Structure 1
Amino acid sequence: MTLKHAFLITAHGGWEQLELLLKQIDHPNHDIFIHVDAKVKGYPKKALEEATKFSKVYIFSKCKVFWGGYSLTVAEIYLFKKAREYGPYDYYHMMSGQDLLLVSNTKFDDFFETNNGKEFIEFKDDQNEHDPEIKRRTKLYHFLQNYRRRFKFQPLNEVFIFFERCSLALQLILHVNRVKNLDWEIKLGPNWVSITDDLVVTLLNEEEKLEKIFKWTNCSDELMFQTIAYNFGFMDRLYHNPFGEDNMRLVDFNRGRNGSPYTFTSNDYDMIMSSKALIARKFSLDTDSEIVDRIIEETR
């Protein structure tokens, strides 16, 4: 059985690197759907669309995306919706433009054929159990979520962060709970997932309710997939990875800063290639182009 894969990529720059990723993914069984942040003007759309020989590349620019805002969730749902219009596919892989595959396309496809029907979603169980901030993400209104990293002038961002904190403090005093009657349990984890068509259909069927819950939620993209999987009977289909993250991704937040993951360098090559992960994030040609070249050559 040959599975069909849709790669869903959110991007806002680094076009040369994104083109390398598209060429790395290029395969007759793979199609690629890209959402480019609508704030970006003048990106090389034609070059990206023509980067592959076998994969079809579809590029959209639905909305302006802001870090931590509901806009990223909207962009992701839109990509799933468009991919399903052109599909359906057996698997949908959520990625960023700063990712790379760590295995060849043949090994990648073989892995999913061996584990066909499994959902590759990572749950942050300890935080789900013990971090009160997770509940506050949906419980309170984050009115200024789009302004905390919006401006190049950092003091202006700090002003909005201050007012956001004042708003949240006031809501706590007033015991605001906008989801007190919610019949779903909210769960946390990375938004980088590989999921089946069944789960995608369920997610799209719940789009209206997802918007109601997450429109004013902080970093809702880290809650959407886990919440759907947990509340709609997909938990017994989760893949459990004995070597690392259940979503088969390698991302290093321990060395990252300001909520962003660490950017891998050539010093990390051996660790990365022995990780058993299928996809890693993040890389930058500006930071270290050598490791990008080495991984692409290794997985060619």
Structure 2
Amino acid sequence: MKIAYLITAYRDFDHLTRLIDNIQGADIDIFIHIDRKCHYTLPDDLQQKLINRIHLLEDRFLVSWGGFNLTLAFIALMNACREHAHYDWILLISGQDFPIAGNDEIKAFLARHHGQEFLAHHPLPFEGWYHSNGGLDRFQYEWPIDEIGFVAAQKMAEQQQATGIRRAFPLQLAPYGGSCWLTISYGLMDYICSYIEVNFSWIYPFFRTVLLADEILIHSIIMNSPYSTRVVNNDLRYIDWHTGPDFPRILTIDDVDSIVNSGCLFARKFDSHIDNIVINQLEQRRRRIILNKI
């Protein structure tokens, strides 16, 4: 089984290095997009160990929270993966993720679920997105975040809201949204890339000004595709969206039991500067799993 990890990262690069070292293995390639405003160099020992199996994208985007450039980074990662080789599974994760399961456990899970796609999704409007009118405010108003920044874009959206003028979602797709982290087949990734290539002339002008398009565009493509019947409504990530103060909340050692018992493959979001102990615990657990299989 060949697996490709697609990673977007912009901070805490010590953790990113640790993440890479934990997920690397036989028949696993890793593709990484580093935010253009950041600098990251893979340590020499890891670079040698992963020669020809790790790929840092040269063309990088300047990512702002809520802006379309993160979606472009996702698309660039998919295209780089698609051009490199054929894989059985594609896992899109962030640089602040960490695996809960061991590599063999992950492969065994994916083998059991051949023919399925994993994506947390919901049709829009979605009551859980109450802060943005069920998600409708994200696309009914223009949010040119990458051009003018979030604060100015928010003011612009409020001015549009006051006029009562709203944009309609593209007729080609019924709108869906959800968590942007996914576990999908190569076939579905290829479908997404092809769809965007063919329809870029209308996708880019519209979604360029959608707030958090990374949580809408790919979901809408997938759930309007022939692959929709294969989708399991689960992103296989343990994420705390509820307790705050951050959304998602930075996980700590207090969360370790919930993480381990979640049944998920990965957890996020971690910050080694806030709590490195929880990462140590998860790493030690993974090592015990590996040793028990030898």
- Short-chain TM bin: 0.7 to 0.9
State the identity %.
25
Counterpart-to-counterpart distance in 1, 2:225 and 2:7 = 25
Counterpart-to-counterpart distance in 1, 2:161 and 2:26 = 53
- Any residues of structure 2 matched to 1:122-141 within 5 Å, and which? 122-124=120-122, 128=126, 131=130, 132-141=133-142
State yes or no: 1:284 paired with 2:271: yes
Counterpart-to-counterpart distance in 1, 2:251 and 2:125 = 25
Q: CA deviation at 1:46?
A: 4.9
State yes or no: 1:182 paired with 2:182: no
Please point out which of 13, 19, 27 is paired with 1:15: 13
State yes or no: 1:253 paired with 2:241: yes
Of Structure 1 and Structure 2, the greater helix share is in 2
2:290 matched residue in structure 1:
none
> What stretches of structure 1 move > 6 A for 4+ residues in a row?
none
**Structure 1 portions without partners, runs of 5+:** 149-159, 241-245
Counterpart-to-counterpart distance in 2, 1:133 and 1:202 = 27
8 A contact 1:190–1:222 mirrored in 2: yes
Q: For 1:50, what is the secondary structure of its paired residue?
A: helix
State yes or no: 1:264 paired with 2:251: yes
What root-mean-square deviation, in Å, do the aligned CA atoms of Structure 1 and Structure 2 show?
Answer: 2.3
1:243 matched residue in structure 2:
none
Please point out which of 204, 208, 218 is paired with 2:211: 218
State yes or no: 1:64 paired with 2:68: no
Q: CA deviation at 1:210?
A: 3.1
Aligned residue pairs total: 279
Counterpart-to-counterpart distance in 2, 1:234 and 1:186 = 16
- When residues 47 and 36 of structure 1 are mapped into structure 2, their CA distance, relative to the original with a 3 A threshold, is farther
- When residues 238 and 264 of structure 1 are mapped into structure 2, their CA distance, relative to the original with a 3 A threshold, is same
**Structure 2 portions without partners, runs of 5+:** 288-294
Counterpart-to-counterpart distance in 1, 2:270 and 2:49 = 21
8 A contact 2:98–2:268 mirrored in 1: yes
The one-letter code sitting in structure 2 at the alignment partner of 1:56 is R
- When residues 180 and 24 of structure 1 are mapped into structure 2, their CA distance, relative to the original with a 3 A threshold, is closer
- When residues 38 and 164 of structure 1 are mapped into structure 2, their CA distance, relative to the original with a 3 A threshold, is closer
Please point out which of 269, 274, 285 is paired with 1:298: 285
- Any residues of structure 2 matched to 1:221-236 within 5 Å, and which? 221-236=214-229
Counterpart-to-counterpart distance in 1, 2:7 and 2:170 = 34
Q: CA deviation at 1:233?
A: 2.3
Counterpart-to-counterpart distance in 1, 2:261 and 2:229 = 28
Can you list the C-alpha shifts for 1:243-270, whole angstroms capped at 9, x where unaligned? xxx1111100112345x31111111111
The one-letter code sitting in structure 1 at the alignment partner of 2:207 is F
Report which stretch shifted further, 116-125 or 70-79.
Answer: 116-125
- When residues 181 and 6 of structure 1 are mapped into structure 2, their CA distance, relative to the original with a 3 A threshold, is closer
